[in-house]
A and B are shown apart, each in its own frame.
Chain A
Amino acid sequence: MSEDLVKVRDLNVTFVTRDRTVHAVNGVDFDLAGGEVLCILGESGSGKSVTLRALMRLNPPARTVMAGTVVVGGHDIVGIDENRMADIRGSVVSMVFQEPMTALDPVFTIGQQICETVKRHEGVSQKDAHRRALDLLDLVQIPSAERRLAAYPHELSGGLRQRAMIAIALSCRPKLLLADEPTTALDATVQIQILLLLRRLQQEMGMGVIFVTHDLGVAGEIADRIAVMYGGKFVEEGPVREVMRTALHPYTQGLLGATVHSGMRGRRLTTIRGAPPNLENLPTGCAFAPRCDVATDACLVAVPALRGDPDHRARCILVAAGKEETPCCSI
């Protein structure tokens, strides 16, 4: 891919209110090619959702300070004016949210909510928008589409609501789809259906997808690459298989150890002790050091750059800077 769909350099997002300043994202760099699926993995408060929203400038405008470079589909997201930004949202890049009950307007029908998006970006007639809405419901496999278009969100099940949400997001064929934990609020059986649907749609439409989750299983199912986020930074990044098989960063290893997955038979699940860092007052050193079993004094001094193989890197001084892949330790 000659031109990257997404290019993020040294992204910093800070929430400033009168009482406090929260450093949610602290220097994130990544690229995404068209048609590629990146999973951002991390705990609550690691900055993964904020990073995702920064790509559409959807963080609360009044108190968000954004710095760095974000380019999506050739558009400079940080510098662009609000009207142009609104043109890009929904057409070039769109988002599927975590909780389909609250993310849909309760007093408008599903059809109205799809049609207004299509009409906003493509200026088509109500009739054409309605026809597109029908096609979209077919695309996301909602049965008896005509009837569902006239339904209000509270009249649909959680799974159908999330499908409708996906239909809205895809209504103007975006090049980039952002998914903010789209399966977290759903039943386990529905989760896998939505996941398979997203993967199929991604392949059919050739979209780039950035998928935020705290669920390693979900990441393994859908991602090409994984980025692990901690304290507002990417601490590890690499192809999904490599990260799963040979995690470099102690935090990633901890996450893997705390999750049930194949190859875990007969082994005890481990936990990561402690709690995530306070984003108001981040340490100068590695943010994970206080919870890390293998931390040394050097960890508290400064955060290393991402190091290791260019394709699979981690932000840990125990990772060899060279090309060879050596896990820094084994749990």
Chain B
Amino acid sequence: MLLYLIRRIIYAVPIALAVSLFCFLLVHIAPGDPINAILPPDAPADVVAQVRALYGLDKPLPLQFGIWLGHIVTGDFGRSLATGRDIWPDLASALKNTLILASASAFIGFILGTLLGSLAAAFNGTWIDRTCVGIAVAGVSVPHYWLGMVLVVIFSVTLNMLPAMGAGPDGTSNWMLDWAHLQFLILPAVTLSVIPMGIVTRTVRGIVSEILNQDFITTLRGKGLRRSGIIVHVLKNAAPNALAVMGLQLGYLMGGSILVETVFAWPGTGFLLNNAIFQRDIPVLQATILVLAMFFVALNLAVDLLQTAIDPRMRRS
């Protein structure tokens, strides 16, 4: 098991390297020369060359990548072109906020999805099944930025129950676990949870109804196990595949909340990315995408390890 763990972690290294290479090349894929963003178009050629050398852009590409990677590893993500500030403090605070939002949405979406999916599978073919699937399809199909605006209209504008924008009462992003802060989380988290809820519902429904049709369920009934005893078996059998889907969904939630964060002015990575895109702030873009991608790699690794811990058939060396 320990060996497997080490091997899996080693496997993740080339993926992480490839991802960082891609992020690095973003600058070179994007049209235009970064120098143009700093210097006026009529700058003399020797100034251009000077600035190019200053930024290390005259060195060969592999060497640039090596230097950049060295900085990243030591926690130096560079400076924002737009603000001139260090990227890392802003990115760290945005990451924290996105993590809070993503975890809250995942919590809502995964629990609801698991419940609805299990219900649908247990009552396969009945109206309960059709209702659950209907909710799931609606959840996946509704554009979530639209849903966010509708929720704001209902709960903030009309009912005046919940705040519509921001992550805290004083406009700062210092998160605290109290009602004053929690009420800001509710609308964006619910909005964002709809898609994972729908996807998890459909996945769990598929997995569980397949398990319920397996021979060993008849054996369990034949042993005299009650419903509660059988549910334990179904859960342990369903967990590896359901977790794989949930891990992916959590990854999407981390990176895919740009629209919802924009609608609710939630100061997370989506918000940061959105601003960086409009200001062509490529270093910020690079750093944010890299960190989010690393989260994705780490999540996949965690899911793989969890799956292996649960399902003994995956433990073969």
Contacts of A86 in B (CB 8 A): 221, 224-226
Q: Are B224 and A89 in contact (CB under 8 A)?
A: yes
Taking the complex as formed, is A56 at the interface, i.e. its CB lies under 8 A from any CB of chain B? yes
Count chain A CB atoms within 10 A of each CB in B218, B223, B237 and give the residue with the most.
B223
CB distance B216 to A58 under 8 Å?
Answer: no
- When A103-B215, A106-B237 are in contact, do A94 and B222 touch as well, CB less than 8 Å? yes
For B215, give its contact among A99, A108, A152 (CB under 8 Å): A99
Of the listed stretches A116-124, A186-194, A241-249, chain B binds A116-124
The answer to whether A83 has its CB under 8 Å from any CB of chain B is yes
User: Does A105 have its Cβ within 8 Å of any Cβ on chain B?
Assistant: yes
Report yes or no: B310 in contact with A107, Cβ–Cβ below 8 A.
yes
Contact call A105/B218, Cβ cutoff below 8 A: no
- Indicate the member of A56, A86, A121, A154 with the most B CB atoms within 10 Å: A86
Q: Knowing A58-B218, A97-B218 touch, does A105 contact B237 (C-beta < 8 A)? A: yes
Q: Closest CB of chain A to B192's CB: distance in Å?
A: 32
Q: How far is the CA of A83 from the CA of B228 in the complex (A)?
A: 12
Question: Bound complex: CA of A102 vs CA of B224, how far in Å?
Answer: 18
Give Cα distance in the complex from A83 to B221, angstroms. Answer: 11
> Of A102, A107, A168, which one neighbours B312 at CB under 8 angstroms?
A107
Q: Are A116 and B225 in contact (CB under 8 A)?
A: yes
Q: What is the CA–CA distance of A58 and B225 in the complex, to the nearest angstrom? A: 12
Among residues of A, the one whose C-beta sits closest to the C-beta of B236 is: A107
Whether A198 is near chain B, meaning CB under 8 Å from some CB there, is no
B210: interface (CB < 8 Å): no
Interface string of A156-180 (1 = CB under 8 A from B): 0000000001001000000000000
Query: Do A116 and B236 contact each other (CB < 8 Å), given the known contacts A89-B224, A103-B215?
Result: no
Within A238-282, which residues are at the interface with B (CB < 8 Å)? Answer: none
State whether B224 touches A95 (Cβ < 8 A): no
Interface residues of B in 282-317 (CB under 8 A from A): 310-313
**Of B218, B229, B313, which contacts A116 at CB under 8 A?**
B229
Minimum CB–CB distance from A212 to chain B (whole Å) comes to: 14
Complex partner residue of B216 from A90, A103, A117, CB under 8 angstroms: A103
Specify the chain B residue showing the minimal Cβ separation from A63: B125
Give complex CA distance A97, B222 in Å: 10
- Cβ of B37 within 8 Å of any chain A Cβ, yes or no, is no
Closest residue of chain A to B213, judged by CB? A60
- Across the interface, do B222 and A95 meet the contact criterion of CB distance under 8 Å? yes
Shortest C-beta distance, B200 to chain A (Å), equals 20
**Which residues of chain A are within 8 angstroms of B221 by Cβ–Cβ distance?**
58, 86, 89
Q: Which positions 142-156 of chain B face chain A at CB distance < 8 Å?
A: none
Given contacts A97-B215, A99-B215, A154-B313, contact A105 B224 (CB under 8 A): no
| Residues A117 and B313 in contact, CB atoms below 8 Å apart | no
The complex places the Cα of A86 from the Cα of B221 at a distance, in Å, of 7
Q: Give complex CA distance A120, B232 in Å.
A: 14
Residues of B contacting A102 in the complex (Cβ-Cβ under 8 angstroms): 214-216
B237 pairs with A83, CB closer than 8 A:
no
Q: How many A-B residue pairs have CB under 8 A?
A: 75
Once A99-B215, A154-B313 are accepted as A-B contacts, the answer to whether A105 and B233 lie under 8 Å apart by CB is yes
Check: B220 CB closer than 8 A to any chain A CB: yes
Chain A residues whose CB sits within 8 angstroms of the CB of B233 once the complex forms: 105, 108
Measured in the bound complex, the distance between the Cα atoms of B233 and A89 in whole Å is 18
How far does the Cβ of A101 sit from chain B's closest Cβ, in whole Å? 9
CA distance A246 to B300 in the complex (A): 67
* CB within 8 Å of B: which A61-116 residues: 83, 86-91, 94-95, 97, 99, 102-108, 116
A56 to B221, CA, bound (A): 9
Closest partner residue, chain B, to A168 (CB atom): B223
A104-B219 contact, Cβ under 8 Å, with A152-B312, A152-B313:
yes
CB contacts (< 8 Å) of B237 on chain A: these are 105-107
Q: Are A83 and B219 in contact (CB under 8 A)?
A: no
Residue of B nearest to A106 (CB): B313
A86 to B236: give the CA distance in the assembly, Å.
22
- The answer to whether A103 touches B312 (Cβ under 8 A) is no
User: Which residues of A have CB within 8 Å of B223?
Assistant: 89-90, 94, 116-117, 120, 168
CB neighbours of A97 from chain B (8 A): 215, 218-219, 222
Q: What is the minimal beta-carbon distance from A282 to any residue of chain B, in angstroms?
A: 26
Across the interface, name the chain B residue whose C-beta is closest to A105. B216
**Which of A88, A104, A108, A165 is in CB contact (< 8 Å) with B236?**
A108
Most chain B CB neighbours (cut-off 10 Å) among A103, A120, A168? A103
Q: Mark A117-151, 1 if CB is under 8 A from B, else 0.
A: 10011000000000000000000000000000000
Q: Which residue of B215, B222, B311 contacts A89 across the interface (Cβ within 8 Å)?
A: B222
Instruction: Write out the residue numbers on chain B whose beta carbons fall within 8 Å of the beta carbon of A104.
Output: 216, 219
8 cross-chain CB contacts under 8 A: A87-B224, A97-B215, A102-B216, A106-B313, A107-B237, A107-B313, A120-B223, A168-B223
Chain B positions near chain A (C-beta within 8 angstroms): 214-216, 218-226, 229, 233, 236-237, 310-313
* Known interface pairs A56-B222, A97-B215; 17 further A-B residue pairs with C-beta atoms within 8 A, sorted by A's residue number: A58-B221, A89-B222, A89-B223, A90-B224, A99-B215, A102-B214, A103-B219, A105-B219, A106-B237, A106-B313, A107-B310, A107-B312, A117-B223, A117-B225, A120-B225, A121-B224, A152-B312
Query: 6 tightest CB-CB pairs across the interface, nearest first?
Result: A90-B224, A89-B224, A102-B215, A90-B223, A152-B312, A117-B223
